[in-house]
Amino acid sequence: MYQNINEASWGEQQLISEIRTFLENKRYLIVIDDIWDKSVWENIKYALIENGYGSRVITTTRVLYVSLQAGGVYRLKPLSVVDSRKLFYQRIYEMENKSPPNQLVEVSERILKRCGGVPLAILAIGSLLSSEKGTTHTHEYWSKVYKSISLGLDNNHDDVKNMRRILSVSYSGLPPHLKTCLLHIGLYPEDYEIETEQQIRKWVGEGFVKKEQGKSLYEVGGNYLDELINKSLVQPVKFENANKMCSCRIHDMVRDLIISLSNEENFLTTIGGP
């Protein structure tokens, strides 16, 4: 009955009615992932019938006030200070148990505090800082990055706002050709597994890839993708032959950022999609 539900032209009320009818005499476990807005949960809960069969509903969200509307809250713990440092320095120095020189310890701790134990934030900033790890201006650059990720933020521990700011700084640090390629990936739906070969050819076809002596445009486009992965803005998914990546995806928070930036820059507009 519900095989073609995604193609059905049901209105919201009919969809709620159909779901309630379907669940009426069933014991069910439903997982609803990544709710961002209170109004979305308000609509969803009307479809979840209480039938006395011991059913359960699990929701996930990054927004605390949304989770409070759904019932009992379990808050995932961030990385500990020790694990945050380990991940941060491993991303910068590409080896375990490596610590920064004394003049960088204080600014490193301030940056880590702003990251709040969130792995994506730590990886994104660590990737950004790794490009300046061995220059004479390292402390100046790291201090500048810290000021950038703190700009406009207070100390109320709003993880979503902090994460958005950190990703914005990471995006701003990209050269123009990588910004364009990253924005282009915003055309895919959330959690979509992107075929790397197809994506590189799309970049080439759109004219985003610059010629480099001794390399094909496809090779240069592959290097662009590798750079975005090294910046922790694109995530590898599948590999073949041990080290050849065949698919990738972007984190949903990265996708939200680049869709917003695409709209602001009139680069790409998404209509009616998730």
- Asked if 66 and 98 sit in the same domain, the reply is no
Residues 63 and 87 in one domain: no
Residue after which a domain boundary falls, among 142, 172, 202: 172
Phi/psi of residue 32, each to 5°?
A: -115, 110
Q: What is the model's pLDDT at position 93?
A: 87
Whether 242 is covered by a domain: the verdict is yes
For the chain, how many structural domains are there in total? 3
Same domain, 203 and 227: yes
Residues 43 and 89 occupy one common structural domain: no
Domain extent for 202: 176-264
**CA atoms of 14 and 269, how far apart (whole Å):** 29
The vertex-88 CA angle with 99 and 34, nearest 5°, equals: 165
142 and 206 within one domain: no
161 vs 149, 211, 274, CA distance in Å?
10, 38, 20
Same domain, residue pair 159 and 196: no
Query: Would you state the pLDDT for residue 211?
Result: 94
Does a structural domain hold residue 11?
yes
pLDDT at 212: 93
In a domain, 274, yes or no: no
Domain co-membership, 66 together with 90: no
Residue 270 domain-assigned (yes or no): no
The phi and psi torsions of 254 (rounded to 5 degrees) equal: -65, -40
Asked if residue 75 is part of any domain, the answer here is no
Q: Tell me the average confidence (pLDDT) per consecutive run of 10 residues in the chain, 274 residues long.
A: 60 86 90 86 86 88 81 86 93 83 90 90 90 70 89 64 87 93 92 94 95 94 94 91 86 91 84 58
User: Is residue 272 in some structural domain?
Assistant: no
Instruction: Return the residue matching tokens 């969803």.
Output: 44
Taking the C-alpha atoms of residue 83 and residue 181, their distance in angstroms, rounded to an integer, is: 32
> What's the pTM value of the predicted model, to 2 decimals?
0.77
Predicted local distance difference test score (pLDDT) of residue 73: 86
Asked whether residue 227 falls in the same domain as residue 251, the answer is yes
Whole-number Å distance between alpha carbons of 84 and 126: 11
Are residues 185 and 237 located together in one domain of the fold? yes
Cβ(98)–Cβ(87) below 8 Å? no
Which pLDDT score, from 0 to 100, does residue 100 have? 84
CB 236 within 8 A of CB 248: yes
Asked if residues 218 and 245 have their Cβ atoms less than 8 Å apart, the reply is: no
Q: Which of 13, 48, 70 is where one domain is finished? A: 70
Domain check: are 182 and 167 in the same one?
no
- Give exposure, 178-196, as e/b (b: 16+ Cβ within 10 Å): bbbbbbbbbbbeeeeebeb
Any domain includes 14: yes
**Rounded Cα distance, 245 and 196, in Å:** 7
Find out whether 194 and 246 touch, Cβ atoms under 8 Å: no
121 shares its domain with 163:
yes
Q: Is 210 within the bounds of a domain?
A: yes
Domain-ending residue, one of 70, 103, 121: 70
Are 182 and 165 part of one and the same domain?
Answer: no
By CB neighbour count within 10 A (0-12 exposed, 13-18 middle, 19+ buried), where does 40 fall? middle
